[in-house]
C-alpha cells in the first residue's frame, strides 16, 4: 500500500485538444520506474482513458534529515512509450514540479530537479536549490519549479507530419539531494505534502501548420 506521508505524483503529458469530443491522441505502453527514490513495489502508474495523462505515484521519494551532519540523495528514472496519432505535431512542452518541504537555517541544503527527454527533444533541466537561510515556515507551504519550451514549427512538423503515427520514448530522471550540518534539518515531502511532476503537451493539426 502506498504511504500517505511521502507521495510523489507525476502527472505527465496532459493534452490540449482541438476537438470538443474526447479522442485519444497518445497511446502509452511499457511504463516503468526505477531508482533509489522508487524501489520495486513502491510505485503506481495510472493512465487516463483518453490517453491524455500518465501518472507515476511513488511511496519513497522523500527524506527527513535531522541531528546532522547527515545527507541523503534520491533519484528515479521514468520511461514510457508514447504513440502520437497521425496528423498532429508537437508544438509546446511544459514541465512543472511542485513539492512540499522544510529546512532550517542551521547549515542545511535541499535541491530537487528533473531532466527529461520526449521523443527526440531534450528539455532544459528543472532545478530548485534551497541554501541555508531559505526555510519553509510551515509544512503546508509548497514551491513550484517550472519551464515552458516552444518547439519550432519547421522542426516539429517535419518530424511528425509524415502521414503515419509517430512513436517514441518519454524519459525523465527526478533527483533530490539534502544535507545538514550539526543542528540542521532538511526534508522533502513532509507530513502529507505531495511532490508533483507534470508535463503538458500542446499538439497542432498538421493541416493548420
Residue 157: predicted pLDDT: 65
**Collapsed DSSP state (helix, strand, coil) of residue 10:** strand
Domain segments of the chain: what residues?
8-208
Q: CB-based contacts of 44: which residues, under 8 Å, 6+ apart?
A: 2, 56, 57
Q: pLDDT-derived band of residue 135, with 50, 70 and 90 as boundaries?
A: low
Q: pLDDT-derived band of residue 154, with 50, 70 and 90 as boundaries?
A: low
The predicted model gives 144-169 an average pLDDT of 76
Nearest to 74 by CA among 142, 130, 8: 8
Per-residue pLDDT tens over the stretch 1-33: 334 333 333 333 333 333 323 466 778 899 999
> Percentage of the chain surpassing pLDDT 90?
13
* Other beta carbons less than 10 A from residue 205's beta carbon: 12
The predicted model gives 151-163 an average pLDDT of 70
Beta strands in the chain (DSSP E): 8-16, 26-34, 43-47, 54-58, 63-65, 70-84, 88-99, 101-103, 109-118, 121-122, 126-130, 143-150, 166-180, 186-188, 195-205
Residue 133: predicted pLDDT: 60
CA distance 43 to 59: 6
Tell me: pLDDT of 122 over 70.
yes
> Percentage of the chain surpassing pLDDT 70?
76
The predicted model gives 45-66 an average pLDDT of 78
Tell me: pLDDT of 121 over 60.
yes
Residue 84: predicted pLDDT: 83
| Better-scored residue on pLDDT, 128 or 3 | 128
The predicted model gives 84-105 an average pLDDT of 78
Beta strands in 87-165 (DSSP E): 88-99, 101-103, 109-118, 121-122, 126-130, 143-150
| pLDDT-wise least confident of 21-25, 149-153, 190-194 | 21-25
CB 45 within 8 A of CB 33: yes
Tell me: pLDDT of 52 over 50.
yes
Nearest to 66 by CA among 194, 191, 178: 178
| pLDDT-wise least confident of 104-113, 121-130, 131-140 | 131-140
Tell me: pLDDT of 173 over 90.
yes
Average pLDDT, the chain: 75
Q: Which residue has the cell 532550517?
A: 104
Residue 40 buriedness (CB in 10 A; 0-12 / 13-18 / 19+): exposed
DSSP state of 139: T
Amino acid at each position: 500500500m502506498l504511504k500517505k506521508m511521502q507521495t510523489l505524483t507525476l502527472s505527465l503529458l496532459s493534452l490540449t485538444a482541438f476537438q470538443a469530443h474526447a479522442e485519444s491522441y497518445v497511446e502509452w505502453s511499457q511504463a516503468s520506474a526505477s531508482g533509489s527514490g522508487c524501489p520495486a513495489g513502491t510505485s503506481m502508474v495510472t493512465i487516463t482513458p483518453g490517453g491524455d495523462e500518465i501518472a507515476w505515484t511513488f511511496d519513497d521519494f522523500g527524506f527527513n534529515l535531522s541531528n546532522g551532519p547527515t545527507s541523503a540523495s534520491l533519484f528515479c528514472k521514468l520511461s514510457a512509450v508514447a504513440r502520437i496519432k497521425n496528423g498532429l505535431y508537437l508544438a509546446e512542452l511544459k514541465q512543472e514540479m511542485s513539492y512540499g518541504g522544510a529546512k532550517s537555517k542551521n547549515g542545511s541544503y535541499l535541491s530537487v530537479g528533473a531532466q527529461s527527454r520526449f521523443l527526440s527533444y531534450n528539455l532544459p533541466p528543472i532545478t530548485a536549490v534551497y541554501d541555508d537561510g531559505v526555510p519553509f515556515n510551515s509544512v503546508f507551504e509548497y514551491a513550484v519549479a517550472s519551464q515552458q519550451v516552444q518547439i519550432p514549427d519547421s522542426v516539429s512538423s517535419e518530424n511528425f507530419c509524415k502521414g503515419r503515427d509517430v512513436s517514441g520514448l518519454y524519459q525523465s530522471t527526478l533527483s533530490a539531494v539534502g544535507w545538514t550540518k550539526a543542528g540542521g534539518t532538511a526534508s522533502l515531502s513532509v507530513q502529507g505534502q505531495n511532490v508533483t511532476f507534470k508535463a503538458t503537451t500542446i499538439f497542432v493539426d498538421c493541416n493548420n501548420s
